Amino acid sequence: MVKICCIGAGYVGGPTMAVIALKCPEIQVAVVDIASARINAWNSDHLPIYEPGLDDVVKQCRGKNLHFSTDVEKHVAEADIVFVSVNTPTKTQGLGAGKAADLTYWESAARMIGDVSKSDKIVVEKSTVPVKTAEAIEKILTHNRKGINFTILSNPEFLAEGTAIKDLYNPDRVLIGGRETPEGAKAIQTLRDVYAHWVPIDKILCTNLWSAELSKLAANAFLAQRISSVNAMSALCEATGADVSQVSHAIGTDSRIGPKFLNASVGFGGSCFQKDILNLVYICECNGLPEVATYWKQVIKVNDYQKTRFVNRVVSSMFNTVSGKKIAILGFAFKKDTGDTRETPAIDVCKKFDWDHPAHLQPSSPTSIKTVSVVWDAYEATKDAHGICIMTEWDEFKKLDYQKVYDNMQKPAFVFDGRNIVEVEKLRKIGFIVYSIGKPLDSWLKDMPAVA
Ligand code: UDX
Ligand code: UDX
Ligand code: ADP
């Protein structure tokens, strides 16, 4: 019987292991974490992360073949396969600050695996890491060896938040990278057998270690690049009178381009895209490829530009200041169907406004600040407001009674739609002044150009 242990009970480790446990009833799965509050939450009725369908999966397996524990060393020692899914933030100081991945958590997990292991293990990189991390981990583990064999695999996760369970049930592909040696091939086979419980075999791709590591960074960079490309187009649409939704649809019907991931927005957010591109840029620079680094850096620059552009539109159309005005921010998560606000564009937008006391605005702890309050009800949020900024595409914001909203707002009433979810013409008929990313501007916005 195979035993699996996953170090790190976060957004990736938790849902992934829950689905493995559900699909492989004969495998014992332990998810361990040093954060006891997180483990307690996983063992309670209130899971630490919100993912549609996750509660159900956890309920079916927890206490049977799925266990959440803080006893990291015990479960690692007992496991045949150890997944490492710890956080890899961007370094904040020292060599590579602001770009390179901080591998402190990874290194300490690897050293711990080396210390406590008494039997052979397959060690699987699950969290996104810089290319060649596997080599570093191998070195740490083999230097600790006491006649124990460690085989390293890279098995990056491609799930997106909000659709994690769906993505795990039905992945476009599972990618497993390993050494091209007999031990490497055997380890790949073992992990492939786990996924083969529910993933069609032709969707399980096996590559060398470095291809698997790089593919994860490349996939996120390509996805982010599509968003920056369509966002760059949105600026041109506003300048020319084209409609970005029509342009997206028109180009997306080209089968070589495809229709997905072409929604113009106030900018991409989330814990992955920016971090992974910065990491990719750093790797390019370290490998003497400054042109390639510059190419990818531009994806982030356009994303920053898009957020600034949005703020400038808001401020310029509201007579060049939002100071002293009430702005309702509808949505704060980086996208709908998640409670995650890591790297959310809403934070950057709020910080860029010329509020009275911008330095005091801390969206992560808004209740302690006088000028910011958090409410659950969109009607309450918009009451007496001068303007509305839609930051997340939650379905409920599409269905609001905008006549009611309008009646309770200050006039002129503004809607700034950073997600293109409102019906622009309908709202204009009600009386709103509406700005929607990449859509033709009305005369008010044309008369109040956003000058940086
Ligand atoms: C292109 C567009 O495809 C077509 O829709 C438009 O109407 C005119 O421009 P074309 O220039 O004939 O058509 O050739 P295309 O097949 O798009 O290739 C353009 C260049 O890209 C070629 O040099 C091709 O070798 C290169 N290419 C294409 C690559 O290097 N890699 C690829 O994956 C695809
Ligand atoms: C992403 C990748 O999709 C996933 O494969 C990887 O494993 C982790 O990173 P995630 O960050 O959860 O997943 O969300 P995603 O759906 O990719 O959205 C990222 C950001 O792009 C969000 O802020 C979203 O609103 C934005 N976005 C997405 C757009 O602005 N336009 C689009 O068309 C698509
Ligand atoms: P991701 O989005 O990649 O899943 P998270 O930050 O949500 O990342 O989760 C990573 C988890 O890893 C955190 O809960 C953190 O406490 C845990 N972690 C970090 N280092 C260790 C370690 N050495 N041992 C056990 N857990 C760890």
Q: CB burial class (10 A; 0-12, 13-18, 19+) of residue 111? A: middle
Three-state DSSP class for residue 103:
coil
Tokens at 348, concatenated: 């950057």
- 140 within domain boundaries: yes
Atom nearest to 392 CA in ligand 2: 25
Atom nearest to 167 CA in ligand 2: 5
Q: What is the pLDDT of residue 147?
A: 86
Please check if 230 is assigned to a binding site. no
The whole-angstrom separation of Cα 276 and Cα 282 is: 10
Residue with tokens 């993505």: 167
Q: CB burial class (10 A; 0-12, 13-18, 19+) of residue 94? A: exposed
Identify the domain boundary among 199, 220, 253. 199
The whole-angstrom separation of Cα 159 and Cα 177 is: 17
Residue with tokens 């920016």: 274
Which CATH number do you get for residue 158? 3.40.50.720
* Cis peptide bond N-terminal to 412, omega within 30: yes
Which residue is closest in CA terms to ligand 2's atom 2? 160
Give distance in angstroms: CA of 225 to centre of ligand 2: 11
Q: What is the pLDDT of residue 18?
A: 98
Give strand pairing partners of 280.
none
Q: What is the pLDDT of residue 445?
A: 87
Q: What is the pLDDT of residue 354?
A: 76
- 395 within domain boundaries: yes
- Please, what is the angle between helix 290-317 and helix 273-286, to 10°? 150
Q: What is the pLDDT of residue 144?
A: 67
Taking the alpha carbons at both ends of the chain, their separation in whole angstroms is 63
Angle, CA 13 vertex, CA 391 and CA 80 arms, to 5°: 170
For 8-28, write each residue's pLDDT tens digit: 999 999 999 999 999 999 999
Integer-rounded Cα Rg, in Å, for the chain is 24
**Nearest alpha-carbon partner for 405 in 389, 422, 388, 424:** 388
Tokens at 299, concatenated: 């994806």
For 256-314, write each residue's pLDDT tens digit: 999 999 999 999 999 999 999 999 999 999 999 999 999 999 999 999 999 999 999 99
Give distance in angstroms: CA of 175 to centre of ligand 1: 29
- 139 within domain boundaries: yes
Which residue is closest in CA terms to ligand 2's atom 9? 272
Ligand 3 contact, 129 CB (< 6 A): no
Range of the domain at 409: 241-452
Based on the domain organization, do 186 and 273 belong to the same domain?
A: no
The whole-angstrom separation of Cα 266 and Cα 438 is: 10
- 127 within domain boundaries: yes
Q: What is the pLDDT of residue 450?
A: 65
- 230 within domain boundaries: no
H-helix or E-strand containing 116? helix 104-116
Q: Are 123 and 84 in contact (CB under 8 A)?
A: yes
Based on the domain organization, do 277 and 418 belong to the same domain?
A: yes
Count up the domains in the chain and report the number: 2
Based on the domain organization, do 148 and 67 belong to the same domain?
A: yes
Based on the domain organization, do 7 and 102 belong to the same domain?
A: yes
Give distance in angstroms: CA of 272 to centre of ligand 2: 8
Q: What is the pLDDT of residue 399?
A: 95
Q: How far is CA 269 from CA 157, 172, 294, 315, 437, in A?
A: 18, 22, 20, 22, 16
**DSSP secondary-structure letter at 360?**
G
Based on the domain organization, do 37 and 169 belong to the same domain?
A: yes
Please check if 274 is assigned to a binding site. yes
Atom nearest to 276 CA in ligand 2: 9
Which active-site residues does the annotation give? Answer: 272
Substitution site in 16, 334, 390 for ligand 2 pocket (most atoms within 8 Å of beta carbon): 334
Identify the domain boundary among 165, 199, 233. 199
Substitution site in 165, 233, 272, 436 for ligand 2 pocket (most atoms within 8 Å of beta carbon): 272
Q: What is the pLDDT along the chain (452 residues), one digit of tens a residue?
A: 799 999 999 999 999 999 999 999 999 999 999 999 999 999 999 999 989 999 999 999 999 999 999 999 999 999 999 999 999 888 999 999 998 889 999 999 999 999 999 999 999 999 888 888 888 898 899 886 678 999 999 999 999 999 999 999 999 999 999 999 999 999 999 999 999 999 999 999 999 999 999 999 999 999 999 999 999 999 999 999 999 999 999 999 999 999 999 999 999 999 999 999 999 999 999 999 999 999 999 999 999 999 999 999 999 999 988 888 999 999 999 999 888 899 999 999 998 887 654 433 334 334 334 467 888 899 999 999 999 999 999 999 999 999 999 999 999 999 999 999 999 999 999 999 999 999 999 888 888 776 55
| Beta carbons within 8 Å of 235's beta carbon, 6+ residues apart | 305, 306, 309, 438
Q: What is the pLDDT of residue 389?
A: 97
Based on the domain organization, do 151 and 269 belong to the same domain?
A: no
Based on the domain organization, do 279 and 416 belong to the same domain?
A: yes
